[in-house]
Structure 1
Amino acid sequence: MKVCIGLLLLLYSGWALGQCKMFIVRPFTDPVTEKICSSALLEDVKELYSNIQQAHPDLYRNVSKETFDSSYLNLVHQCSQDLTLLSFVGELNKFLQLLKDSHTFVSVRDLLSYRSFSRHYLPLRLMEQQGEVVVVKAWENTIPSGVQLLSINSTRVSTYLKSAPQFAPIEAIADSAFHLMMPHVTSALMNLSHPNKWNTVVWFDGKDSISEVVRSPKRSKTQQGELFKGEPIEISFERKEGAGILKIASFSPRNIKGFKKKLDQIFKEVTEKPLDKLIIDLRNNTGGYIVLQEYLMSFLVPKNTVYSADYVYKRSPFDRFSQLSKLERKRFVRAAKRFYPNGAISRELDFYNKPFGSLDTVTNNPVLKNKQGLTYWGPCDLLVNELSMSASANFTAWFT
């Protein structure tokens, strides 16, 4: 009897492994090995194509309609077969890259949340040097800094580096930024493909090839506190030779209130203990919440300064007004009518009342202020690079 049950389980396991999935359950789906049925993929692709035309305010800025439609037909062809989630994301991004809009793509890092209960993740900071992948820093120094990474579990690291371009966003003509992202994407692909606690890693230290079994922590652990000891994930401040260096890694914190509180503390210290110069470091800051960009700005201008910014909106079932609940919509309309025809909220009401598909430019005029009314009046420099994007690029344009 036990033998029969064992054979049945073995046969069922083989059958299950050969089947595609119609529905994706995030905790139980492996994005690298399990395939999704082509019918489900095609349904998503067709919905994406329809929705993006309704929602995107400037769809054909960087690509002709003919080229975009031709690429869509190729995407449909590629998705006419069962694919893993990783392969599907790669095909989607090859299609979306034509838009050259970094806000319109699927992040490969989102796939790290699949099978998260059993997933291990090794935080790695890498860089590319003449086609070689070099370790800048590894979690708890499990891999020495400066070594050339060769393979993980017998798979060459160059394999992930070569496939990285299809998983990175493209922004207009920022080619250098695109290439700078390759090591970051390579790290994500390696972790996706090797979610085990123990992995055999081979590197070259300049003299010999060294093979070691390296431990990766649970991914949930890497999302708590600091990735690398002494380096806060989002924001840090240090004094050096009379200058204060404010490093902001992202405007997308896990806690908005905590981010603001940290800025309050830093600028309170700066006003109480003056600096020769403040240096704001936004290198590799790929953006986030505009409201936090504006909060940083509030410390560098007189109290209650007005900041004007124009935003191009396209009315669609996916815009921020359509995402409001029925009650929130009523509150918005009531508040807008109270000030009409004055103020930015009145112009937003005009836009809200337009039919889907309408394009309009809405000027936003927020008053820049922080909780303690602090202002830094001393010299200030800004550091940015090709990976300073979105909200950090907005800040740069305002600062200069």
Structure 2
Amino acid sequence: MRYKQLFLILILLFPFSNNYSQRRQFSKKEVLEDLDTLKTLLEKSHYNLYAYTSKEKFDQNFEKVAKSLKEDSISLKEAVGTFQKVISKANTGHAEIDFPAASYIAFAQQGGKIFPLEIALEDSKAYIRKNYSNNPEIKSGSEILEVNGKRIKDILSLIYPHISAERPYLKKAKIEFWSFPRLYWQIFGEEEQFSISVKENNQIKEYNLQSVSALEAYEYKRKDILSSDRKFKFYGNTAYLNPGNFSGDENDYQKFIDSAFSAINKKSPANLIVDLRNNAGGNNSFSDYLISYFANKPFQWNSRFSLKTSEFLKRNTRKNNDTTNAYFQEILKHQNGEVFPYYFEEMQPMESQKRYKGNVFTLINRQSYSQAAVAASLIQDYQFATLVGEETGDFPTLYASLFIVELPHTGTPVKIPKGYIVRVNKSEKPEGVVPEIQINDHLLDDRDEILDSLLKKLGN
């Protein structure tokens, strides 16, 4: 059961191919050829590769990364890290190559050991979120300053090139959900001991720690920040609904939403809290269905949506999608490289007797991603609810609508944004969704400052 838990955590998060999950070593020639394919793929298929970085800087970085390959035998982990350093230079959160999960799973199964402290990154500082070491003196909430003589700032500067994001705020959020111990392993490999410097109650303390088993002492004990769990309950005169991610079995999802709102309408609470925190996003058809239960007028999930087609995208579409569908037909009929608009029908609110008509509050935080951030911006722009929490890491106006292409030799899955989405209020500012009531989600730990504060405000 525990092995299944680890594989569910990682394999569901990261796409694999047979080649990607089985081969462990590649020649320099193979990695360089995959690197060239990656560059061509990005140039031909990314909606706007140079939106946040110039072509000159992107090309310079590409040459630097290619020249850094010295050995003729390159591990899968090293190859993935090399590709990440190229794609992340686009500074587009949805153009990314994920953490090398296949390598990490193999490492963990073989008894590998990792850094024993989980961290949260807030206000340019790193705080200990969870302590998995055998030293109980190290307290959660303490600031960690150094690891093995390296400042946290310098360690993060080595991790950043592996993380795709439009800004540092999103990079830090992604480091939190991938997890610092995993990423530290990716950069530095396995280390047996760690000397750390910690700031506790304005005093600097030094500790020596042993690494811990990646499986028994870490993966088995922790819970990932992103959660697909669906939850529904009442807190007095307030209903609480967490719909989970906007993906999966859509019929099953709609049944859950229908059931929740049936119970809500029977009890008629004064308030409804919809929780979009720690949400990986997904498809607008899921979020639209949820919102239709408390929307008071027809709505759209964007003010403008456009796509860029390419031969890579067309091959992917023919292989993986229903080409009789109007959306995919549009992709296939336009010329390679062409950008074109695509229009979605307005979503209608549920019939009056099914809709919730009380006060609605939507919770967001820095871990509200992709469609969760877009849905939150829709709710805010139409004034369907009051947003509570902290600014999302993802932008609601963003390059997204992903498709995935595997590099030929390593099988590494590459996520490519083929679309551009503009939020309902037409703002194209590079900013997240900012809530009306701001409450920080400190440490992303078991204490729920955002929900507790709101419930207290509502008298529950």
- TM-score tier, shorter chain, comes to 0.5 to 0.7
- Counterparts of 2:64 and 2:29 in 1: how far apart (Å)? 16
Q: 1:194 to 1:43 in 2, by over 3 A?
A: closer
Structure 1 gap ranges (5+): 1-22, 30-34, 333-344
Partner AA of 1:300 in structure 2: F
Contact 1:150–1:157, Cα closer than 8 Å, also in 2: yes
**Superposition map of 1:74-89 within 5 A:** 74-79=64-69, 81-82=71-72, 83-89=74-80
1:31-110 paired onto structure 2 within 5 Å: 36-79=26-69, 81-82=71-72, 83-108=74-99, 110=101
Q: 1:212 to 1:236 in 2, by over 3 A?
A: farther
306-315 vs 40-49, which moves further: 306-315
Q: Which amino acid aligns with 2:89?
A: L
Report the counterpart of residue 217 of structure 1 in structure 2: 215
Question: Aligned in 2, Cα 1:321/1:211: closer, same or farther, shift over 3 Å?
Answer: closer
State the alpha-carbon separation in 2 of the partners of residues 321 and 367 from structure 1.
31
What stretches of structure 2 of length at least 5 have no aligned partner? 1-17, 381-460
User: For residue 127 of structure 1, what is the amino acid of its counterpart?
Assistant: A
CA deviations 1:51-105 (Å, max 9, x no partner) are 2222112222222222222222223222354444334333333322332211101
Counterpart code for 2:344? N
The SS at the match of 1:181 is helix
Q: Is 2:384 the counterpart of 1:393?
A: no
The answer to whether the Cα contact below 8 Å between 2:96 and 2:164 also exists between their aligned partners in 1 is yes
The 8 Å contact of residues 307 and 339 in structure 2, kept in 1 or not, is answered as yes
TM-score, normalised to structure 1, is: 0.68
Answer whether contact 2:120 2:128 (CA < 8 A) is retained. Answer: yes
Q: Tell me, in whole angstroms, the C-alpha distance in 2 between the residues paired with 1:285 and 1:160.
A: 27
Tell me if structure 1 keeps the 8 A contact 2:309–2:337: yes
Q: Does 1:359 align with 2:327?
A: no
Separation in structure 1 between the aligned mates of residue 354 and residue 133 of structure 2, nearest angstrom: 38
Question: Is the contact made by 2:300 and 2:345 (CA closer than 8 Å) also made in structure 1?
Answer: yes
Q: 2:223 aligns with which of 222, 227, 247?
A: 227
CA–CA separation in structure 1 for the residues paired with 2:271 and 2:77: 46
Does the 8 A contact of 1:278 with 1:378 survive in 2?
A: yes
User: Given the alignment of the two structures, is residue 289 of structure 1 paired with residue 283 of structure 2, yes or no?
Assistant: yes
- The residue that corresponds to 1:115 in the other structure is 106
| Higher mean displacement: 161-170 or 261-270 | 261-270
For 1:140 and 1:368, the matched residues in 2 are separated by: 52
Structure 1 residues 44 and 350: CA distance shift in structure 2, 3 A: closer
Structure showing greater Rg: 1
| Contact in 1 for aligned 2:109/2:215 (Cα 8 Å) | no
Conserved? CA contact 2:293–2:349, under 8 Å: yes
Tell me which residue corresponds to 1:177.
Answer: 170
Change in CA separation of 1:281 and 1:290 when aligned onto 2, cut-off 3 Å: same
Aligned pair count reads 349
CA contact (8 A) 2:88 2:162 kept: no
Give 1:360 deviation, angstroms.
0.4
> Which one scores higher on RCO, CA 8 angstroms, separation ≥ 6?
2
Native 8 Å contact 2:292 2:348 kept in 1: yes
CA distance in 2, matches of 1:266, 1:119: 44
Shift of 1:216: 4.6
What is the Cα deviation at residue 397 of structure 1? 2.1
CA pair 367-129 structure 1, distance change in 2 beyond 3 A: closer
Measured against aligned partners, the alpha-carbon deviations of 1:309-332 in whole angstroms (never above 9, x if no partner) come to: 442112212326742349943x44
Q: Distance in 2 between matches of 1:124 and 1:299?
A: 42
Per-residue deviation, 1:368: 5.4
Give the alignment of 1:204-353 within 5 angstroms.
206=200, 209=207, 211=209, 214=212, 216-217=214-215, 227=223, 233-240=228-235, 242-247=237-242, 250-252=245-247, 258-301=252-295, 305=298, 307=300, 309=302, 310-319=304-313, 322-325=316-319, 328-329=322-323, 331-332=324-325, 345=326, 349-353=329-333
Alpha-carbon contact 2:310-2:337 (below 8 Å) kept: yes
Q: Match of 2:268, SS? A: coil
| Counterpart in the other structure of 1:165 | 160
SS in 2 for 1:244: strand
